[in-house]
Amino acid sequence: MSDYLEQKIKHAPRSPGVYLMKDAEGGILYVGKARDIRSRIRAYFGGTDSRVMVPFLVSRIGDIDFIVTETEKEALILENNLIKEHRPRYNVFFRDDKTYFHIRLDPRERFPRFQLVRRPKKDGARYFGPYPSSGQARETLRFLQPIFPLRTCGNAELSGRKRPCLEHEIGRCPAPCCGLIDAAAYDGLVKDATAFLEGREKGLVADLRGRMQGAAERMDFEAAVVLRDRIAAIEATLEKQRMATVAATDQDVFGVYREDDMTQICAVLIRSGNIIGQKVFPLIKVGGETSEILSALIKRFYDGEVYIPAEIVLPEDMEDRDVIAEWLTDKKGRAVSIVTPQKGRGAALLAMAQQNAKNIFRTERLAKDNPEEALKLLMERLSLKKRPERIECFDISNIGGALAVGSMVTFVSGLPDKAGYRRYKIRTVEGADDYAMMYEVLKRRYGKKENLPDLIMVDGGKGQLGVAVSVMRDVAVEGIDVIAIAKEKSDLPGGSRLRGPTQVAKDHDRIYLPGRKNPVNLSRFPTALFLLQRIRDEAHRFAVSYHRQLRDKRDAESLLDAVPGLGEAKKKAVLQYFGDVSHVGAASKEDLQKVEGIGKATAEQIYDFLRK
Ligand code: SF4
């Protein structure tokens, strides 16, 4: 460190504020905030900040500027603005230019109406949403309009009409333009619509019921029918939304999925306890801790024109959680909490969001799939003998050695070829010996030396690779490339390998090649890596589904063990006769008696037991 920098750090303020790290030319490299600027800066140079990017950043720092603030919250706001303005290279910069849709209802208008708008303004109108797409917002409007028939025309048309328009003819507007509804009745409609949009459907339904009864008592059956239909429509939506949360709060639940330096984040949007949609953030390509990425994203996202819910649910805690919550509370004008639940409904919602993030990542990648390019890259990067036109991949599935099975999937020209899928029931291995099982499966497949592939792939690390290589040697097959793919999971803060139910999994797949000590990292060639991952996942899925099938059959058969008076010999006879336990379950008492050794009493017991 230069003397200049050393002096500057020595005299840095010990108060809250923002620091700007610059390179020798004055370009801003990084903007950060701190409760105590001096000790925060020291952490960079003293080696106590373990973030991956820190050594690279520190080696480029030529100067540091400080801006002191009154509070840490002010520092956070300033940091956010400076990051937006300068987009420093070492900050996690989150781009989100997408706009959201809102439904606007201005109670000050003469005969208010629904309007679809992109950005809410501070103009005294009510805004409902956000809806992540115009489609979802329009869908809500399509639903609202017949139940709460507010006018759809503009102000000029409202004042200029001499006769109602078609909307009135088809029952979608009570025609305030021509005085066919009085202001108080129209106002009632607006209030009901507002209650619905605010998520107070239950209270609204109770109120509407009271009004319907009143109308019926007054013998105003026309009004009663309108109210009855309105109640039915609202109740139908309530039913649809019942899948949502127990607590009727507004929450944004963030799911994160990471693979190497790629992070996919999505937020499940919950309003008044109902899931109303999902916000998908663009793929972020940056290393670093998940908590750091989340912190940057949360600050940037809620800084925009976006609705702030009462609760933000995250899969990992953030260092500056309290100050962000305080800032959001100020912005919203009501308490906002940021939580990381480990159990209960919150954890279940988080798991759902996490799964969504993973699915989005995978589907996005699938969409960008390019088998041609992938095969070319694989050949180059793994130094294969030939282009892997036909790839066969193997996986093993068992629980503690029980019901062990193996699977083989075939990909031709980078695409699955289901006719080439095979499954194997392990015959020769006792106990949970995955290597021996893999040996058996590969030997059964390649022993006949028929229809050989260009590339053999096994799920596993060096051990599995060694097995595959020795099988090829034992069956004397040459000229085929063999690789193994292994998933490595790690990278929890502090290097811990313990993982809570909601913590973010970071997957790193590595490729093992014969004769090479260290695995190959293909993360810089995602097209190639993704093809291998897809093939491995497919082999895994195929093995697991076969294993499950066998397990279900065994479980079903073990049901017969519990039938009183049915010994082993009779059970075997029954299964042999019907072939499958499901057929036993469907059999009549008379059919059961057709089995040798099964009398009337036993047949009745089997029949009654299986129905119970
Ligand atoms: S009936 Fe009148 S108030 Fe209703 S939409 Fe038509 S013009 Fe507007």
183 alpha carbon – ligand 1 mean position (Å): 14
Residue ID of nearest Cα to ligand 1 atom 6: 165
Domain carrying residue 343: 251-366
Task: Flag whether 91 is in a domain.
Answer: no
Closest C-alpha among 458, 446, 453 to residue 485: 458
Coil, helix or strand at residue 175:
coil
Residue 167 CB–ligand 1 contact under 6 Å: yes
| Same domain as 543, residue 414 | yes
Q: What CATH number does the domain containing 361 carry? A: 3.30.420
- How far apart CA 489 and CA 507 sit, in angstroms, is 5
Residue 441 CB–ligand 1 contact under 6 Å: no
pLDDT tens readout for residues 434-475: 999 999 999 999 998 889 999 999 999 999 999 999 999 999
Residue 189 CB–ligand 1 contact under 6 Å: no
Q: Which parts of 241-343 fold into alpha helices (H)?
A: 290-303, 321-332
149 alpha carbon – ligand 1 mean position (Å): 10
Looking only at the bridges linking them, the beta strands covering 506-512 and 481-489 are antiparallel
Q: Find where tokens 């306890």 sit.
A: 273
Q: What is the pLDDT of residue 131?
A: 67
Task: Flag whether 288 is in a domain.
Answer: yes
In contact, 325 and 252? CB cutoff 8 Å: no
Q: What CATH number does the domain containing 427 carry? A: 3.30.420.340
Answer with the one of 340, 366, 392 that is the final residue of a domain. 366
| Same domain as 266, residue 166 | no
235 alpha carbon – ligand 1 mean position (Å): 28
Task: Flag whether 101 is in a domain.
Answer: no
Residue 145 CB–ligand 1 contact under 6 Å: no
Report the sign of the C-alpha dihedral through residues 267, 268, 272, 273, in that order.
negative
Phi, psi torsion values for 334, nearest 5 degrees: -145, 160
| Same domain as 385, residue 486 | yes
| Same domain as 226, residue 168 | yes
What's the N-to-C CA distance of the chain in angstroms?
79
| Same domain as 343, residue 413 | no
Cα–Cα distances (Å) from 451 to 1, 420, 459, 480, 484, in that order, read: 64, 10, 21, 12, 21
Residue 157 CB–ligand 1 contact under 6 Å: yes
CA 237 to chain CA mean position, Å:
25
Report the sign of the C-alpha dihedral through residues 231, 232, 235, 236, in that order.
negative
Answer with the one of 221, 241, 261 that is the final residue of a domain. 241
- How far apart CA 296 and CA 556 sit, in angstroms, is 52
Task: Flag whether 33 is in a domain.
Answer: yes
Q: What CATH number does the domain containing 593 carry? A: 1.10.150.20
Q: Find where tokens 């996005």 sit.
A: 364
Which residues in 257-282 are b (16+ Cβ under 10 Å) and which e?
Answer: bbbbebbbbbbbbbbbbbbbbbbbbe
Q: What is the pLDDT of residue 514?
A: 95
228 alpha carbon – ligand 1 mean position (Å): 24
Which residues in 333-360 are b (16+ Cβ under 10 Å) and which e?
Answer: eeebebbbbeeeebbebbeebbebbbeb
**Virtual CA dihedral for 291, 297, 299, 304, nearest 10 degrees?**
-170
CA 531 to chain CA mean position, Å:
21
Coil, helix or strand at residue 529:
helix
| Same domain as 508, residue 389 | yes
Q: What is the pLDDT of residue 136?
A: 67
- The encoded tokens of residue 93 equal 């910069």
| Same domain as 176, residue 76 | no
| Same domain as 375, residue 360 | no
| Same domain as 74, residue 152 | no
Ligand 1 atom with minimal separation from the 164 CA:
1
Domain count, the chain: 5
Answer with the one of 341, 366, 391 that is the final residue of a domain. 366
Task: Flag whether 207 is in a domain.
Answer: yes
| Same domain as 582, residue 436 | no
| Same domain as 376, residue 360 | no
Task: Flag whether 60 is in a domain.
Answer: yes
Residue 416 makes CB contacts below 8 A (sequence gap 6+) with 409, 410, 538
- In angstroms and rounded to an integer, the radius of gyration of the C-alpha atoms of the chain is 33
Residue 300 CB–ligand 1 contact under 6 Å: no
Residue 545 makes CB contacts below 8 A (sequence gap 6+) with none
Q: What is the pLDDT of residue 564?
A: 75
156 alpha carbon – ligand 1 mean position (Å): 11
Task: Flag whether 100 is in a domain.
Answer: no
Cα–Cα distances (Å) from 295 to 30, 292, 318, 323, 486, in that order, read: 15, 5, 6, 11, 31
Task: Flag whether 557 is in a domain.
Answer: no
| Same domain as 377, residue 317 | no
Residue ranges in the chain whose pLDDT is less than 70 = 93-100, 129-136, 236-248, 260, 273-278, 363-369, 400-401, 489-507, 556-557, 612
Q: What is the pLDDT of residue 239?
A: 57
- How far apart CA 487 and CA 579 sit, in angstroms, is 40
